[in-house]
Amino acid sequence: MPDTPIDRLARATPSSLARRARGLSDRAIAWVFVTPTILLLLAINIFPLIWTVRLSFTNFAANKPNAEVKWVGLRNYQRILTDPDIWQTMQATAHFLFWTLLLQVVLGFALAWLINRKFRGNDLMTTLIVIPMMLSPAVVGNFWTFLYEPQIGLFNYAVEFFAGIPASSFSMLGSVALAPWAIVIVDTWMWTPFVMLICLAGLRSIPDYIYEAAEVDRASKWRQFWTMTVPMVLPFLMLAVLFRGIENFKMFDLVVQLTGGGPGSTTLLTSIELKREAFEKWRTGYSSAYAIILFVTVFGLASIYVKALNKVKER
Amino acid sequence: MKSHYLAATAAACLTLSISHGAQAEDLTLCWAAWDPANALVELSKEFEAQSGHKMTFEFVPWTNFADRMLNELNSGGKLCDLMIGDSQWIGAGAESGHYIKLNDFFDANGISMSDFVPATVTGYSEWPKGTPNYWALPAFGDVVGWTYRKDWFERPEIQAAFKEKTGRDLTPPATFAELKEVAEFFQGREIDGKTVYGASIYTERGSEGITMGVMDVLYSFGFKYDNPDKPYDMEGFVNSPGAVEGLEFYKALYDCCTPPGASNSYMGEGIDAYKSGQVALQMNFAFTWPGFEVDPNVGGGKTGYLVNPAGPTGERFAQLGGQGISVVSYSEKQDAALEYIKWFAQPEVQQKWWSMGGFSALRSVVEDPAFAASQPYAQTYLDSMAIVKDFWAEPAYASLLQASQKRFHDYVVAGQGTAKEALDGLVQDWTEVFQDEGKL
């Protein structure tokens, strides 16, 4: 008679429990395993979401639990959607999203393509490149404020060295024109390695024999790149864009540390504004409506994107 | 009524506990993480030895202090037994029931608010303002003032250059116009082989920085929060011609005379700029002054202290800082917490508090004939405390503050719109807040 760990577990199971378990169908056993997860999801995801939707139609303020809660209908939504300040934060977020994604995709893919070559020190180089993404965003934000310092910052000195613009004549974080680019640069510096790693996985999944066949057919390197490499890496790249897009839509810590949303409201991203409404002004009802609008936006865009991703994968 | 009952019960319990020997408690005091807090840790050792209670401290950096502690209070947290909360929290502390009312306790223990500097009682203890309802004991008096490089001002070659440029002697500025003139003179000047700048002022966006700085100037230009005869009526007061001129002045000062990159400066950045010899003038709260006296670069007589300069009409006000100490209503150790306040209110403890770097608000300490000469900044502190005004201390102060932070930073640092538009917008924002609060 075999004596595997499963057999030992079966013998150790109390007979009453064993009888009950024997009477369960496969489907019932599946439900037994899945139910705790479903309950947990309902408790920590679905219920808060429904509750937030409900709050978004009220004037509830979490810091005044005893105050009368009034039903305000669509007033919160109307105020948000007609508020020019909110649209300004949306614009700032869109600028940040577009440029960080574009730069990270281009640079990440280029780095992956270069690092995919076989050369001495390849592993060390890969490790060095991924260091920025291992750091805490708060730390990154803090030391980049020093790098951007007009009087002592290395960044400004580098610009002076290469472009001849005096270091103390411009302030990356204090200028309305430059601050949106300052946060794009830092996020790109930090997260390009992440896109690179995903692209590298894509590049390494392409079998060598495909390139060998292309060589036999005398396809040029340029043609190999555009007709083989890019299409085969595209699903990976799109996945990286999805991850980074969702992450950057909710960007908070890095930008707060760098600019606090300033100068003025130039780098005030939606998540920073939402946090201020919810946990500094304590306008819970209003901020719930704001959160729902953002949720619908992200969910809608992500759904369209995932469909496109699936189509690319099916090709 | 509930708070009356609580305070009376607490006072009775305290009396009983003192007479029968109190049970030793582990008390937690919450405050900001800064130099005075370290001094309070030292000072409180005396309380521990006398009472048998153990003191634990929860200090949070200024930039996160309001967020962290207001969340704690709003959630009914029991972390803090004693809270040294910012002056603007007093409205929310009282109306939301975060603090216990201290009137009965003060009466039972012979603590009189008339023994404290009036401005600190109004600023840190009273709610509603101007009524004898006390929710805190003035703990740390503070006010925005200016420091200047006395050693630079005294150099003959600098004095001569200033006289040549302006036609007058280089003296510590008494008006804001003079202050700007001095700042312009120092901006970009070479001193000891180093380029220096005019002034460090508050421009911080994230918490309260630029509001504290702008208000500090606006008061002396004629800004008023509302109509004295009609509360919350702000049109023509917040955006009066004087207030507009004051805001334009602040922007002009920012544009002409601050160091490069000073677009997000508050207390810490101001201290750094001044100690490192970057600026000739510095706007900052008085709590920073003891640190300058012992600093190797700017201490030892190199620093002078100034009361906020006067505005164009000669009016002179300054932004109040500082905090009162309150007992948190959610604490289960209110008796011991009240015992701490009783100990802290004693004149000899307050005297020691001042000597350790804490800015006492007790009149017997600050009106002592020896006080003015006790520190180089003591007289400036006294004079400044006599002209203070404070930001809204309404329960909705955070919303009011957020609006002013945005409007002021948009105009002063980002250069968007005009001063009139910024203040008109602020009237609109604040009106909306008070409408939401049901006060309009």
Class in CATH terms, B144-319: alpha beta
What pLDDT is recorded for position A1?
A: 54
**Chain B residues with CB-CB distance to A259 below 8 A:** 205, 264
In what order do the strands lie in the sheet containing B144-149? B189-191, B194-200, B279-285, B144-149, B303-306
Q: In angstroms, what separates the C-alpha of B52 from chain A's closest C-alpha?
A: 35
Can you list the residues of chain B whose pLDDT is less than 70?
A: 1-22
* Inter-chain CB proximity B92 and A59 less than 8 Å: no
Phi and psi angles of residue B55, each rounded to the nearest 5 degrees, phi first:
-100, 130
Phi and psi angles of residue A71, each rounded to the nearest 5 degrees, phi first:
-80, 120
List Cβ neighbours of B375 (8 Å cut-off, separation of 6 or more).
B289, B290, B293
DSSP characters over B194-230: EEEEEEE-----SSSHHHHHHHHHHGGGT--SSBTTB
Q: What is the pLDDT of residues B189-238, one digit of tens each?
A: 999 999 999 999 999 998 899 999 999 999 999 999 999 999 999 999 99
Kindly identify which residue of chain A lies nearest to residue B416, measuring between CA atoms: A264
Q: In angstroms, what separates the C-alpha of A273 from chain B's closest C-alpha?
A: 10
What pLDDT is recorded for position B12?
A: 45
List Cβ neighbours of A150 (8 Å cut-off, separation of 6 or more).
A156, A167, A168, A169, A170, A171, B260, B261
* Inter-chain CB proximity A259 and B264 less than 8 Å: yes
Contact B290, B375 (CB under 8 A): yes
Residues of A with CB under 8 A from a CB of B: 59, 62-64, 85, 148-151, 153, 168-169, 171, 173-176, 256, 259-266, 276, 279-283
Q: In angstroms, what separates the C-alpha of B400 from chain A's closest C-alpha?
A: 8
* A54's tokens: 């409900």
Q: Where are the domains of chain B?
A: 2-141+322-389, 144-319
Q: What is the pLDDT along chain A (315 residues), one digit of tens a residue?
A: 557 777 777 777 777 777 666 678 888 889 999 999 999 999 999 999 999 999 999 999 988 877 889 999 999 999 999 999 999 999 999 999 999 999 999 999 999 999 998 888 888 999 999 999 999 999 999 999 999 999 889 999 999 999 999 998 999 999 999 999 999 999 999 999 999 999 999 999 999 999 999 999 999 999 999 999 999 999 999 999 999 999 999 999 999 999 989 899 999 999 999 999 998 888 999 999 999 999 999 999 999 999 998 888 777
CB pairs under 8 A between A and B: 88
By Cβ distance, the residue of A171, A260, A266 closest to B261 is A171
Same fold for the domain at B2-141+322-389 and the one at B144-319?
yes
Prediction pTM value? 0.85
* Inter-chain CB proximity A150 and B74 less than 8 Å: no
Best residue of A76, A82, A149, A151 to probe chain B, by most B CBs closer than 10 Å:
A151
Q: Where are the domains of chain A?
A: 5-55, 77-314
- Burial environment of residue A234 by CB neighbours within 10 A (0 to 12, 13 to 18, 19 or more): middle
What pLDDT is recorded for position A21?
A: 65
The helix/strand/coil state of B158 is helix
Q: What is the pLDDT of residues B225-268, one digit of tens each?
A: 999 999 999 999 999 999 999 999 999 999 999 999 999 999 99
* B19's tokens: 């007479």
* Inter-chain CB proximity B414 and A62 less than 8 Å: no
Q: b/e for A195-217, b at 16 or more Cβ within 10 A?
A: bbbbbbebbeeeeeeeeeebeee
CATH topology of domain B2-141+322-389: D-Maltodextrin-Binding Protein; domain 2 (3.40.190)
**Chain A residues with CB-CB distance to B269 below 8 A:** none
**Chain B residues with CB-CB distance to A175 below 8 A:** 263
* Inter-chain CB proximity B413 and A64 less than 8 Å: no
Kindly identify which residue of chain A lies nearest to residue B399, measuring between CA atoms: A281
What single-letter amino acid sits at B363?
A: R
By Cβ distance, the residue of A174, A256, A279 closest to B261 is A174
Q: In angstroms, what separates the C-alpha of B365 from chain A's closest C-alpha?
A: 37
What pLDDT is recorded for position B22?
A: 54
CATH 1.10.3720.10 fits A77-314, yes or no: yes
